Amino acid sequence: MHIDPRIAPDPDLDSAQFGLCQSLTRADRFKVRHLVIRPGATIDTHSHFHRAEHWIAVQGSGRVTLDGQSQELFENQSIDIAVGTQHRIENHGKVDLHLIEVQTGTYLDDDDVIRPSS
């Protein structure tokens, strides 16, 4: 997995269970991140109280599930995720899935993640 350091001169790069996450920019009401999801990996089902998300597939493809409804997200396609929508994405392909994630809302910290009860 490779994230080009030219994207952000001083990247805020984090390893995650699904792959990698690089913060690109942030302001009061938006944050932009580059997510790399490894083949076979999943960002598990969750939702947010305070933010919406917009995912843009820039390389690879994956299966997105929004409130129980699944659809494919192919390269050069995007999807909107409204505040409160349960969502997940799975890379069932053979190459890394690169997403640009745009978060918008009044509260963008990482603790605004609600996981469904088991």
- What pLDDT shows up at residue 9? 45
Contact of 100 with 56, CB cutoff 8 Å = yes
- What pLDDT shows up at residue 110? 86
pLDDT digit string (tens) for 44-68?
A: 999 999 999 999 999 999 999 999 9
Which parts of the chain register pLDDT below 70? 1-14, 118
* CA dihedral for 117, 48, 82, 24, sign (positive or negative): negative
* CA dihedral for 47, 48, 49, 53, sign (positive or negative): negative
Structural domains in the chain? 12-105 (2.60.120.10)
> Whole-prediction pTM value?
0.86
